[in-house]
Amino acid sequence: MSELRIGAHVDQTDPIAEASARTAPLVQFFLGNPQSYKGPVLAYEAGAEALRADAEAAGVDLYVHAPYLINVATTNNRQRIPSRKLLQQHMDAAAEIGAKGLIVHGGHVTDEDDPAKGFDNWRKAIEATDIKVPLLIENTAGGTNAMTRHLDRIARVWDAISAAEGFEMVGFCLDTCHAHAGGNALETVVEDVRAITGRIDLVHANDSRDDFDSGADRHANFGEGRIDPALLAQVITEADAPVILETPGGAAEHTADAAWLRERV
Ligand SMILES: [Zn+2]
């Protein structure tokens, strides 16, 4: 019997209620607007201490997804500097609520840039950040000069950050939609990532509305996208990490996706 722990990305107002609606032992949410440079905002009315205590009492692990526009790799100072600041602010806020991890996308440099600059910017970001809860770097689906779309780039990021102070608190979040749409063979992706990072801390389990290597980032409910169902289940099984559904819909759809998955793992 599989003891796969399945949760979902949920609305931030009351993550405990959202977990309960899905009988989920873990949930992920944003702290504020994911498209804004404004600092984190905790929507939970009773405050950070209460959220931490309530999550503990309910047996729910909390994960925070950092804003999408954080790009610590970029050579553009006007994005990189606020990105680092925002990352630290979210790190602090995630620690206050007792989060088990903070998920951040790998970011990118422009097509004209040498990707080596991006890898080194990642090293600097790790060194500059006071990492209080595990920082989970996520693979992304698109872009030509992305840091974590393709395995060879993920390897270069890991090479760059592995000597940085705080590296032991850095982990990996594998998104199945992004891996597929990014053009990585799902047959071997878990093994390939582990060979690079040594760890997979969290799975973002999503089907994809788009074809393999399309570069598009559009999540689908299980069985409704373009990923072979058996392969999707295989990746999630092999990753052997807590699962967050980032599939469309609310509690009903997530419950159906969790049931779909449980039948196949
Ligand atoms: Zn994701």
Q: Could you read off the pLDDT of 154-205 as tens digits, one per residue?
A: 999 999 999 999 999 999 999 999 999 999 999 999 999 999 999 999 999 9
Q: Which residues are within 8 A (CB) of 200 and not within 5 positions of it... i.e. 6 or more apart?
A: 171, 172, 173, 174, 190, 193, 194, 239, 240, 241
Nearest to 142 by CA among 175, 189, 190: 175
Rounded-to-integer distance, Cα 233 and Cα 228, Å: 9
pLDDT recorded at residue 2: 53
CA of 203 to the centre of ligand 1 (A): 8
CA of 175 to the centre of ligand 1 (A): 5
Kindly state the DSSP code that residue 246 receives in the 8-state scheme: -
- Tell me, yes or no, if the pTM score tops 0.95: yes
CA of 246 to the centre of ligand 1 (A): 7
Residue 32 has pLDDT above 90, yes or no: yes
Task: State the helix-helix crossing angle for 115-128 and 151-161, rounded to 10 degrees.
Answer: 40
Rounded-to-integer distance, Cα 118 and Cα 205, Å: 27
Kindly state the DSSP code that residue 187 receives in the 8-state scheme: T
Q: With helix as H, strand as E and coil as C, how does 44-109 read?
A: CCCCHHHHHHHHHHHCCEEEEECCCCCCCCCCCHHHHHHHHHHHHHHHHHHHHCCCCEEEEECCEC
CA of 176 to the centre of ligand 1 (A): 8
pLDDT digits (tens, 9 = 90+) for 86-138: 999 999 999 999 999 999 999 999 999 999 999 999 999 999 999 999 999 99
CA of 21 to the centre of ligand 1 (A): 21
CA of 169 to the centre of ligand 1 (A): 19
Per the DSSP assignment, residues forming a β-bridge with 65 are 103
What do you get for the CA distance between the two ends of the chain, in Å? 9
CA of 218 to the centre of ligand 1 (A): 10
